[in-house]
Amino acid sequence: MQWMTTSGALSALRLRAQWIEDKGQTDPATVVRWMLAMQGQDLPGAKWSVALRSPGTTLADVDAALATGAIIRSWPMRGTLHLVAGEDIGWMLGLTAARTVQSLATRHRQLDIDDHVVAEASNVAVGLLEGGRAATRSELFAAFEKAGIGTAEQRGVHLLGRLHQDRLLCLGPMQGNDQAVVLLSEWVRNPHTPERDEALGEFVARYFASHGPATLRDFAWWTKLPLRDARVGLAIAGKHLEELVLDGTSYFMAPGLPDRASRELHLLPGFDEFLLGYQDRSASLAAEHAQLTVPGNNGMFLPTIVDGGQVVGLWRRRKVKGGLEITPQPFAGMTKRRAAAFAAAAAAYAAYLGTPVSVGSVS
């Protein structure tokens, strides 16, 4: 089915596809499974991304899902940490890992990481973790150092990432403020194992269902898969998707999304999929606000205020006596309606954290 839309409607449809709006009662694992992968280098922000899509979910609920392996954190694509459902990481890496490792070849040569070093690190990790044990990153790096495997100057981080790419490790339960490393084969007992073409079709179908309307180039950027693989996936999944045409460009999404304007305000963390899920973010982020949202274009996305599907400002948090203070930083002032909606969103964030939250003066 093909139909026409305007750029202003794309963001409203995406809010619904991503379960930021029109969400039902669900749980953290179901959210992550629906989203397929959620940007996760900022772990506290990623947990809030999960909870804001699941009414009533608390930080403790998200941590509980991490503690069971229902949700893990790994490097499934773009060399970037994401939250994924435990059963999905294996087949995703089966499609993406080789390209990620190839893209890091020069850096690995600079760090003196070769197949021999990777094999040694693998043996150390297995010896430390087998039998259902978990270790913090610092404990794993200490084990590497004891075995004569240096971890300085990002070498440890790159080795850790490589062992994730090799499907040996994943990040699982919380240990204090750290997320512990575990053996993937022990932690995820029932992995989903589709054949390659089936996996491509599933990758495409689930991305567009949870992130659509989006383009095939958005999907290829998000996964870093070549367009030829994206087209194979679309040929398999296309019959289950709707196509929108805007200025001659095809966008794909799940059928049946309500086509109506958004009138809600949301406090999103800095790396939420609402922005990070697309190569082209112009439907939700005006060009004149892009540098404010990503200062210096350095890849660090600040927490955003989204109102009516548009990024209308930023917000910051700081510890104060007795809790937290959240302060809006609007791009163009705060109306009474927007201020009230911001306070309501801040209250939802406080309930998620289980911590008192006050609203600071507009800055």
Which two tokens mark 258? 């309500």
Asked if residue 269 belongs to a domain, the reply is: no
Instruction: Provide the CB-side half-sphere exposure for 148 (13 A, CA).
Output: 3
Helix (H) or strand (E) holding 210: helix 196-211
Which domain covers residue 21, as residue numbers? 2-187
Exposed, middle or buried, 164 (CB in 10 Å: 0-12/13-18/19+)? buried
User: Among candidates 293, 301, 345, which has minimal Cα distance to 21?
Assistant: 345
Show which of 141, 161, 187 is a domain's final residue.
Answer: 187
175 shares its domain with 296: no
Q: From first to last of its 363 residues, what are the pLDDT tens digits of the chain? A: 444 456 568 999 999 999 999 877 789 999 999 999 999 999 999 999 999 999 999 999 999 999 999 999 999 999 899 999 999 999 999 999 999 999 999 999 999 999 999 999 999 999 999 999 999 999 999 999 999 999 999 999 999 999 999 999 999 999 998 999 999 999 999 999 999 999 999 999 999 999 999 999 999 999 999 999 999 999 999 999 999 988 889 999 999 888 888 889 999 999 999 999 999 999 999 999 999 999 877 788 999 999 999 999 999 999 999 899 999 999 998 999 999 999 999 999 999 999 999 999 886
| Number of domains into which the chain is organized | 2
172 shares its domain with 63: yes
Asked if residue 39 belongs to a domain, the reply is: yes
Which two tokens mark 147? 């075995």
Asked if residue 117 belongs to a domain, the reply is: yes
pLDDT at residue number 6: 60
Cis before 213 (ω within 30): yes
Q: DSSP label at 40?
A: -
Asked if residue 267 belongs to a domain, the reply is: no
176 shares its domain with 299: no
Asked if residue 314 belongs to a domain, the reply is: yes
37 shares its domain with 173: yes
The gap between the terminal CA atoms of the chain, to the nearest Å, is: 46
What's CA 133's distance to the chain center, in Å?
A: 26
How many other CB atoms sit within 10 Å of the CB of residue 43?
Answer: 18
Asked if residue 77 belongs to a domain, the reply is: yes
Show which of 167, 187, 207 is a domain's final residue.
Answer: 187
How many other CB atoms sit within 10 Å of the CB of residue 77?
Answer: 22
Show which of 124, 155, 187 is a domain's final residue.
Answer: 187
User: HEC profile for 220-246?
Assistant: HHHHCCCHHHHHHHHHHHHHHCEEEEE
182 shares its domain with 289: no
User: Among candidates 270, 231, 254, which has minimal Cα distance to 48?
Assistant: 270
Asked if residue 329 belongs to a domain, the reply is: yes
10 shares its domain with 155: yes
150 shares its domain with 30: yes
Asked if residue 102 belongs to a domain, the reply is: yes
141 shares its domain with 6: yes
pLDDT at residue number 260: 84
32 shares its domain with 139: yes
Which two tokens mark 320? 């104060």
Which two tokens mark 342? 């911001």
